[in-house]
Structure 1
Amino acid sequence: MTIRLDQLRRCTVAVDLGAARTRVHLKQAGLVVDEPSVVAVNTYSGALMAVGSVAERMTGRTPAHIRVIRPVTGGMVVDIDMAQRMLRAMVGGKLRRAWRRRPMLRAAVCVPYDADPLARRAAVETLAGVGARRVELVDAPTSAGIGGGLPVQRAEATMILVCGATTTQVAVLSLGAIVSATTVPLGGETISNALVQHLRNEHELILPSQAVRPLHIALASAAGSSTTGAEVHGRDVVTGLARTVVVDPAEVRSAIQAPLTGLLDAVRTVLHRCPPDLVADLVDSGMTLTGGAALLPGLDTSMRQHTGMSVHIAEEPAVCAVKGLAAMLDGAVRPLSLTGRR
C-alpha cells in the first residue's frame, strides 16, 4: 500500500534495523544510536547482560549461562521481544524525553522491499513495543538511494545495491519507485564465512570471528595486483594449538568467487527485467553501493571488472538508509511513491 510523504513528515523517529547495526535518528537531534544489533542474555534469569558493542565483544567468549543473540537477520526482525529490549536499552532516556513532549509518537522504519506481511508486522510490533503509536514502513532501496544523494525521483534509471551483513538488495529505481529488484542471501558475513571456510579446508586453520580483517585487507591487495600476503592467526584443526598462516591475495580472491558470482547473477537478473530505456540510462550512471558491506575492500573494483559498469560507493554508505529516512522526515524530499503503512 502506498503512503504519502506528508505522513512521513509527521514522524519523529527514523529507525534502520539491520542485521549488523541498528541506527536511530531523532528529529532535531540527529543520529542518537549507532550500535551493533546484538544482545547478551543470562539464560538462568532472563536478564539482559549487555547490548550493542559490549555484547558484540562477548561473541565466542561467553560461559554456558550467557547467550549472545542477534534479533535481526537480513533486515527483518526474527525475535520481537529481544529486538524491543535491545531498542529500549539503546535509546534509554533519549526517546523518553521525546515521548513526554509528543505522546502520539510516530516512527518510520526501513524494511526490505520484498518483506512479507509477517516481517512487516514484526517491524511494526517492535517499534510499537518501545512507544511508537504509529509506524510507517519504507523500502530500504528507496531510503538508501535518497540517503546516498541519488536522483531517485527523476524519470531516469538509478541502480543501487544495499549491501548488508547477510543479504544484498539490488534495485533499479525511477520516479521514486522500484522498477526491478531482487534480494540475494549474500552479504559481508557471507564473504567472511567463505574466507573462514577456505582457511579451514585448505590450511586446516580455525579462525576466530575477529581474525577475518587481515583477509579483507588482502582483498584490496588482490584487486591492486599486490603480492603482499595476509598473516592470520588461528587454531590448528588437528593439534588445537595456535598457528599462523600467510595467505596469498590471489588465494583470497579465489575464495570469494562463489558469493561474488551470486551477486553478479542478481545484477544481471535485475537488468534483464528492466525496460531498455532504463538500462540505457545506466550506461552513464552505473551502480551505487550502499550499506556497511559496501566498504569491503576491493568489492567495487571486482564489480566494475565483471560487469563493465561504473561502480560508485556512496558517501557514508553504512548510514545511507537512515539518512534517507531522516530526509523524508525533515521534508527535504519531493513526493515519492513508497511502501505500506501500519
Structure 2
Amino acid sequence: MAQHSYGIDLGTSNFKIFGLTNKKIINEKNVIAKKNKDEVFQFGDLAFEMYEKAPENIEVSFPVKFGVIADIKNMDILFERFFKKLNGKGITGSSNFCIAVPTDITEVEKRAFYDMIAESRVKAKHISVVEKPIADAVGVGIDVESPRGNLIVNIGADTTEISVISLGGIVLSKLIKTGGSKLDDTICSIVRKKYNLVIGRRTAEQIKINLADAINASSSSYVAFGRNIVTGLPASKEISSELVFEAIQECLHSIIDSIKVILERTPPELAADIINTGVYLTGGSSLIQNIGQLITNETGLKINLDDEPEETVIRGIAEILSNNKLSELMYVPREKQYN
C-alpha cells in the first residue's frame, strides 16, 4: 500500500484518523463549533469544551448521528481540518484513503462516507471502505481470514454493533440505537425526576464514567452540579452509584437481548467456535465497569476486553493498510443508482 495512505473511523463521539507515513493516530471529539453560522470557531476536543456552554452566536454540533453522516457539510470541514492537523501542513498531493463503515446501514448511507472524501478539497487518488466489524476484529488481533467464528460487540456512543465474522466476511450483523449517549440521557432523566435537578449531558457523562457499574458491585457517589427546577437556582446533589445502576439497567439489558438474538441466529458450527473464543468487547462504552461480567452472567460466554477498546477500529485499519495480505478486506462501495 502506498505510503501516502490514511485510515479513518468516523464515530458519533470521536473522529479517528491514521497516517501510514508517520504511523500517528489522532483521536478527538467529532464536534465542530461555528460562529455566526458559517465561521469555523473550533473543532475536535476544543469544540467539545464549548458544548452546552456556548453563547447564542456559536453553534456546537455533532455531524455524525447513530453511526451515519447527518451533516455532510460540517463533516467535510472536520475531515479537512483533522487531515491538516495530522500532516502538520496544508492539503498534500494525491493520497489513498480507507474508511470504516457500519455494516447494518443502507448502501446510500455507506456511499456517503465515500463521497465525503471524494468531494472534499483533499486530493484522493483511491478511496476504499472496510466494514467496521472487520476492522474491529483485525484491531483486537483476530485472524479474520480463518474459518473460525468470532463474535464482536462494539458499544459506541450512539449505537451498538453486534457481528459474527468468519472467513474475512460478516455472517450476521445487527446495529441498535443504544450506546453511551443513551445512558447519559437516562442519567439526566433520573436525576431530574428524583432530585428536581437539571444537569447537562457532559455532567451526566462524568457521572457515568465515575459511577456506572453494570452489576452494581460498588458503592460510591459523585457530586453533580446543575439547576434546581423548583427554585431556578444553581444547586448540587450527591448522586449514588445505586441510582446510576437503576438508570442504566434497561439500556444494558437491551444490548444483551440483541446479543442473544444474534447468538440464536448463528449457525451451529460458528456457535461452537464462539463458545471457545468468547465475546470480543470493543468501543468506548465497553469501559463501563463490569459490563463484561454482566454479559458473561447472561450468556455464559467469556469476555475479551482490549486495553484501548475505543481505538480498535482505527488500529485495525492501520494494520489493513500496512499489511498487503489484508488488502482484499477493502472495497469500493457501489455507485448510486437511480430508477
Alignment TM-score, normalising by the size of structure 1: 0.89
1:202/1:283 CA distance change after superposition, 3 Å:
same
Identical positions, percent:
24
Aligned: 1:168 with 2:147:
no
Distance 1:89 1:337 in 2: 28
Corresponding residue for residue 104 of structure 1: 94
Instruction: Encode CA deviations 1:18-67: one digit per residue, 9 max, x unaligned.
Output: 111111111121224221100011235x1100000111011111111110
Q: Do residues 19 (structure 1) and 12 (structure 2) align?
A: yes
CA gap of 1:296–1:225, structure 2 versus 1, over 3 A, is: closer
Provide Cα deviations, 1:186-209, integer angstroms capped at 9, x if missing partner.
111111111111111222111122
What is the identity, as a one-letter code, of the residue corresponding to 2:225? H
CA-to-aligned-CA distance 1:89-132 (integer Å, 9 cap, x gap): 222264486964xx432200000012212212211121121322
Once the two structures are TM-superposed, the CA of residue 12 in structure 1 deviates from its matched residue by 0.6
> Displacement, 1:214?
3.0
**Structure 1 segment 108-187 matched on structure 2, within 5 A:** 108-128=98-118, 129=120, 130-187=122-179
2:200 paired residue number: 208
- Whole-angstrom CA distance in 2 between matches of 1:78 and 1:60: 20
- TM-score of the pair, normalised by structure 2: 0.90
SS in 2 for 1:231: strand
Q: Partners in 2 of 1:124 and 1:14 — Cα distance?
A: 12
* Cα distance, 1:216–1:151 mapped onto 2, change above 3 Å: same
SS of 2:219's equivalent in the other structure is: coil
Match of 2:296 in 1: 304
What's the counterpart of residue 30 of structure 1?
A: 23
- Is 1:47 matched with 2:34? no
Q: Which runs of 5+ in 2 are unaligned?
A: 335-339
**CA 1:263–1:32: 2 relative to 1, 3 Å:** closer
Aligned to 2:75: 83
- C-alpha distance in 2 between matches for 1:123 and 1:56: 23
Which deviates the most, 328-337 or 262-271? Answer: 328-337
* 1:67 equivalent in alignment to 2:59: yes
* SS across alignment from 2:153: strand
Q: Which residue of the partner structure matches residue 309 of structure 2?
A: 317
Change (3 A) 1:323 1:283: same
| Cα offsets for 1:216-243 (capped at 9, x unmatched) | 32223x7363333333222211112232
Aligned amino acid, residue 34 of structure 1? N
| TM-fit CA distance, 1:71 | 0.9
**Which aligned segments of 4 or more residues in structure 1 are displaced greater than 6 angstroms?**
8-11, 96-99
**2:12, 2:67 within 8 Å by CA — same for their partners in 1?**
yes
1:333 CA drift (Å): 4.8
Contact 2:17-2:82 at 8 Å conserved across structures: no
RMSD over aligned Cα, in angstroms? 2.2
Deviation (angstroms), 1:328: 0.8
Aligned residues: 331
Q: Could you tell me whether the CA contact under 8 Å between 1:23 and 1:34 is conserved in 2?
A: yes
Aligned mates of 1:84, 1:228 — CA distance in 2: 43
Q: 1:49 to 1:335 in 2, by over 3 A?
A: closer
Partner secondary structure for residue 212 of structure 2? helix
Other-structure match for 1:219: 212
Give yes or no for contact 1:14–1:24 (8 Å, CA) kept in 2.
yes
